[in-house]
Structures are given as structure tokens and as C-alpha cells.
Amino acid sequence: MRGNNLKVRLLIGVVIVAFAFFKKCSQQEKNPYTGRTQTITMTPDQEIAIGLQSAPQMAQQHGGLHPDTRYQAMVDNVGKKLVNSSIARETPYQYEFHLLSDPNAINAFALPGGQIFITYALFSKLENEDQLAGVLGHEIGHVLGKHSAERIGETEFWKTVSTGASVGADMGGLVGGIGQQTLLKNGRGDELESDALGVQFMIDAGYDPEELIGVMKILKAAAGPNRTPEFQSTHPDPDNRIEKIKEAIRVYKNAS
């Protein structure tokens, strides 16, 4: 009797896993802006809705919006210039740029659908408008690259696979771990893709793409000598990013 139950569980597990792979294949689509094939489970309108819904909470976690309207206007102007002069203007996303009050966390990030943030801690370390364009261009790259939407799609896939493995052979934890490692690896790829897109946006808008290298040096200096090794982080090491940025600058300048 126990043998029959095990066979039934294995069969159910195999069916769930097979369904997960079938569903993933049906949700594969080519990103029209990057040319990369991704697993996407939501529409652009859903991405925009998620970003708008999450934006207030994200701002609150970083002390709210910065009160200096001059600084905010600078962020707005640079962001809009990058969007209006590049392929970003062809996307359905609603790009909005926010300067956060946080004086400690040196960070910038993007939510699905076009909500983009930079903390005052990072903003205050930038040396010129071109470096600000580098930061914002990188974050626009995350939106245009559908990186958050892709992570959501991949997470849903691995959750389903993990469920099937748990039912079939109590291997859910192992499969879930494989899924997490895959997501971390893809996260590094997202950063490099966004760096390259940021270079393209900077050139299109008339900014000096070499200044994105300056941003990497700022991030490296801020992290200090005890920064996390690359293989333990979702972000590539700044030195490796610099080499990729130099390569992207050569490619886009030769193409223009």
C-alpha cells in the first residue's frame, strides 16, 4: 500500500514539475529593447501598477523624499533627458525620478514600470551631472530590461518546481536552493546589462559615458576594503563592472 502511495506521489510530483516547465516555455518572450529572451508573467500595465503601489513604502524606508526642490528638479531633468533621447521613450513605462532623503545608504534602485530612486547619500557624492546621468541611466536600464518582472517570473517557476519536488520525493529544499542560486546569478547579469544600457542612454543624451566609470570608483571607495566578494553578492565587483563599461563604450561609440 505504501508503495502505491509513493508511486502516486511521484506521479503527481512529475506532473507538477512538467506543468511548471510547460508554463515557463509558454511565457518566454523576446525583449524588444534588449533582444534577450525572458520569462515574463505580467503585462507592462501590471508592472506599472506594482511600481506605483510600492513606491510610497520604498520612499518611506529611506526617510521620504528630499526636501530640496532644486536637487529634485535636477534629478527630474536629467532623468527625462535620458528617457526622451533614447529607446526608453518607446516603452510603455511611466518613468518618474525620486531623490530620497536617506543620508547614509549609498544606493539607487528601480521598481517595475518606471519608478526610479536615488538616495541623497549617493547623490551628494556624485561630482557632476554626467555621473548622475550614469546612475539614472543604469536604473532606466533595469526597467527597460524588465529585470524585476523576470525575477518574479523565475521565482514563480521555481516555487512550482519546488512544490512538485516536495510532493514527489521530498526534495523541495534542494530544488528551491538551485532556484535561488539561479536568481542570484541572473542578478549579476542584470547589473551588467543595465550598465551597458546606461552607457547607450548617456551617449544618446549627449553625456560623457566615461563618467559612469567615475560612479563605479565612488561605489568602490564607499564600500571600503572589506566589501563583499563578487561571488557572494548579487552585484558584480566594481572593478569588473568598469572593464565591461569600457567595452560597452567602445562598442556604442564605434556604432554611432
Model pLDDT for residues 63-85, shown as the tens digit of each residue: 999 999 999 999 999 999 999 99
CA–CA separation, 162 vs 164, rounded Å? 5
Report which secondary-structure segment, H or E, holds 96.
strand 96-100
149-158, 197-206, 215-224, range with the lowest pLDDT: 149-158
Q: How many CA atoms lie within 13 A of 244 on its CB side?
A: 18
Q: What is the pLDDT of residue 38?
A: 79
pLDDT tier for residue 197 given thresholds of 50, 70 and 90 = very high
Mean pLDDT of the region 30-50: 83
| pLDDT on residue 180 | 34
User: Greatest CA separation found in the chain?
Assistant: 74
Whole-structure pTM value: 0.76
Average pLDDT over residues 87-103: 95
**Average pLDDT score over residue span 160-175:** 42
3-state secondary structure of 109: strand
